[in-house]
Homo-oligomer: A and B are copies of this chain.
Amino acid sequence: MGLPLRRSKVEPPPPCPLTRSLLLLRGAWAPNVIWALSGEARRFGELRHDIPKISARVLSARLRELEIRGLVSRQLLDTSPPSAEYALTELGREMMPAIKALVAVGHKLPEVDARARKPARGASIAGRLAA
């Protein structure tokens, strides 16, 4: 799979129906970027400000990926100094209801520490749930 150069040695999981849409939400910062764009169009610098701690490198990468995947549009503004404006595409706006449905269910989830992925030795599930 892949462009001529640099194939990944790590074989990806077989795709499931969810795969296509989840590709958009992959990456630690993708959700924040999409959410920040769910309102009105934003410029690069605005996004950096809206999403504290995100690095320019990652923001740039996620925006470019979302653009390639058809969720985000990029418009170079002929201003001085130059600026760029990002917005959700039609497809991007179509996806928002699905996203919001997910958010709604998320609110009903029990609060669990992120470390749930890294089970402490000897700690029982009950213990972690009770904490």
Interface residue ranges, A against B (CB under 8 Å): 1-3, 5-6, 11-14, 16-29, 31-32, 34-36, 51-54, 61, 64-65, 67-71, 91, 94-95, 97-99, 101-110, 112-120, 123, 125, 128-129
Contacts and interface: CB of A to CB of B under 8 A. Distances in A.
A27 B28 CA distance: 11
A47 to B, nearest CB: 13
B22 A120 contact: no
A28 B2 contact: no
Given A16-B31, A117-B27, A94 B105 contact: yes
A129 B14 contact: no
Contacts of A104: 98
B21 A22 contact: no
Contact of A1 (B31, B32, B69, B113): B113
A127 B74 CA distance: 16
Given A51-B14, A105-B94, A3 B65 contact: no
Contacts of A119: 61, 64
Contact of A3 (B27, B102, B115): B115
Contact of A29 (B13, B21, B113): B13
